[in-house]
Structure 1
Amino acid sequence: MTDRQRRKVSPEKAVRRFVSRHDGTENTVRSYSNRLQDFLLWADEYGIDHMHDLDGWAIDEYREYLEASENAPTTIKGKLTALTQLLKYCESLEVVEDGLHEKVELPTLTKEEETSDEKLEADEASRLLEHFRNSPRQRGTANHVLLELMWHVGGRISCFRALDLGDWYPDERKLEFRHRPPTRLKDGTEHERNVVVSEGVAEAIDFWIERERPEKRDDNGRKPLLTTNHGRASESTIRFWSYLATQPCLYRECPHNRDRPSCPYTDRSKSSKCPSSRAPHAVRTGSITWQLNRGLSYVRVAERVAASPETIRRYYDKPDYDEQLARRRPDTEGMDVLNREVDR
């Protein structure tokens, strides 16, 4: 089939159809949609009116466009991966030539480029949670209870958003994470699990339910655990709660010489701009590292946070040198050439 015989499909229509037909989770679909926005901008600038106008040279031009825009290596790889999936979809519908997706060369990343070292430090988490638990005004608020959950469970946003009120068992201090579309866990039922939390976390959850939680149902008539005045908290709302809950000026002077009452970053919409605030992913990374530092095995932490041990080792375990030493110390404390007990 020649290009002239192929159906004329604009990049905008192709992306729209691809995203609407994708059967992945809500997060995956949204991720593809976001990652393909640069492709649409580039296609408009480069004069790509139809998908069959694409060839190997044009694809390489798009990669150069991404690199010139100072995207991080991981961002470039993600956007090119999304383009690869879009081209595969178009190939299946005979919109572009077969095998076009193979002309997308993904960059090879180092381990350092693949992962982010940003995390909420354990000492910082401890001080923030101590502040919330002792604050008459902020104890049991949405910011507080979310930080308790994120730090002590180490789950993803989708896990906490999916929780219903009935998933909390106060007598057992147990949370049940269940996959109930349209609220989804990342890998569906494979990530279903029960998690026990400490008494301090349980008290924060109970206080939230009794004093602070808006009594609302979601669009499906369910009672979410994390609610706003409009129903179930959205993922963007949860991100804002995370940024607001991790600002160090909550309990000490601002490390950036700002006055909290007048600082624009204390506003919900600008909270992500605070240099010291942390996104949910950074809290999850800090939590997982902290749990491993406390002696939990990779397997047990993986079960708790819903990830494979391999994923945890590669992306989430970020101990500093002293933390690495502390983990090794029990095995090497008595290591001496003259200590025969060690040799046995």
Structure 2
Amino acid sequence: MEVSTICGWINDLISLQSYIYHKDPTILKKRLLSELEGSEILDCREITEDLLKDTLESDFKEYSERISTLVAYLRQYQFGTRVHVYVELILNTCSQPGCVRDLELEDINSDNGTVVISIPETHLVSKAGLVTQRVANISQETSEALEEFLAYERKEPTDISDSPLLTTSHGRVSESTLRREVKQASESAEEYPGVASPLTRHQTSCVVPSEIWQYSILQLLEGQ
């Protein structure tokens, strides 16, 4: 059977599951593919390459070390800043960086520790208007970082009428700015001996938001 045919069936199955359970199709897809690993019937490598073009090129342990170092640095030295909140929300919600950037103030519910996350229109269920949002839980530490950010760090934009969570003085912060802030923070984290591990200190490669997102999904699957 052609790989394209199998992938078509998998995508249909994922869309159905997303519709029934109101879950992120990307997470459902990666969970299914992880369960198919080791199959003697299907060539999972070809299927995975066809379905997922953005998988991590390195192993889980390496990313765990680098991202854990970044998070520890942010919690210790940049608690409640825009970049800290951005990173924590990606990790907590397993969301694409663009979806976190697009969050509005009204999407945050501090009382019950949840965030409403949009599902990109690259997924059929969202494009068709069937499942456009999902609710994700956030940790107590992330809630506290959000409170700190909203009280002291968030800039009130002057040039727009809506209420984005992550802002500059003019409006919603750009993806390039957030990416730069994450890279700068990861560079700084590698130089702090109280935070960085011997494996990550003085590395030349920086963490970027897309890697944090992919790692968050791998971490979710590892814990199940």
Q: Secondary structure at the match of 1:227?
A: coil
Give the alignment partner of residue 276 of structure 1, picking from 198, 202, 205: 205
1:126-141 correspondence runs (5 A): 126-135=68-77, 138-141=78-81
Q: In the alignment, which residue of structure 2 is the partner of 1:79?
A: none
Cα displacement (A) at 1:203? 0.8
Cα displacement (A) at 1:202? 0.9
Q: Distance in 1 between matches of 2:72 and 2:121?
A: 30
Q: In the alignment, which residue of structure 2 is the partner of 1:237?
A: 177
| Structure 2 stretches lacking a partner, 5+ long | 1-45
Amino acid at match of 2:99: C
Q: Secondary structure at the match of 1:195?
A: strand
Alignment CA distance shift 1:251-1:287 (3 Å): farther
Q: In the alignment, which residue of structure 1 is the partner of 2:219?
A: 290
Q: In the alignment, which residue of structure 2 is the partner of 1:192?
A: 133
Q: In the alignment, which residue of structure 2 is the partner of 1:54?
A: none
Q: Secondary structure at the match of 2:205?
A: coil
Q: In the alignment, which residue of structure 1 is the partner of 2:145?
A: 204
Q: Distance in 2 between matches of 1:233 and 1:193?
A: 23
1:36-115 correspondence runs (5 A): 111=49, 115=55
Cα displacement (A) at 1:124? 3.0
Q: Distance in 2 between matches of 1:227 and 1:292?
A: 32
Alignment CA distance shift 1:178-1:153 (3 Å): closer
Q: Distance in 1 between matches of 2:68 and 2:190?
A: 14
Q: Secondary structure at the match of 1:238?
A: helix
Q: Distance in 1 between matches of 2:95 and 2:104?
A: 15
Q: Secondary structure at the match of 1:177?
A: strand
Q: Distance in 1 between matches of 2:118 and 2:159?
A: 16
How many residues were matched structurally? 163
Q: In the alignment, which residue of structure 2 is the partner of 1:22?
A: none
Alignment CA distance shift 1:176-1:185 (3 Å): farther
Give the alignment partner of residue 99 of structure 2, picking from 150, 159, 164: 159
1:213-244 per-position Cα deviation (integer Å, ceiling 9, x unaligned):
1011563x101001112210122222222222
Q: In the alignment, which residue of structure 2 is the partner of 1:255?
A: 202
Q: Distance in 2 between matches of 1:218 and 1:163?
A: 17
Q: Secondary structure at the match of 2:190?
A: helix
Q: Distance in 1 between matches of 2:144 and 2:168?
A: 20
Matched, 1:147 2:87: yes
Q: In the alignment, which residue of structure 2 is the partner of 1:123?
A: 65
Which structure is higher in RCO with an 8 Å CA cutoff and minimum separation 6? 2
Q: Secondary structure at the match of 2:116?
A: strand
Alignment CA distance shift 1:213-1:111 (3 Å): same
| Structure 1 stretches lacking a partner, 5+ long | 1-107, 257-274, 296-344
1:29-40 correspondence runs (5 A): none
1:109-143 per-position Cα deviation (integer Å, ceiling 9, x unaligned):
994995441477223333322222222xx211112
Cα displacement (A) at 1:177? 2.1
Q: In the alignment, which residue of structure 1 is the partner of 2:110?
A: 170
Contact 1:158 1:185 in 2 (8 A): no
TM-score, normalised to structure 1's length? 0.42
Amino acid at match of 1:126: S
Alignment CA distance shift 1:292-1:217 (3 Å): farther
Q: Distance in 2 between matches of 1:287 and 1:229?
A: 30
Q: Distance in 2 between matches of 1:111 and 1:177?
A: 26
* Structure of greater Rg: 1
TM-score, normalised to structure 2's length? 0.62
Contact 2:89 2:142 in 1 (8 A): yes
Alignment CA distance shift 1:171-1:282 (3 Å): same
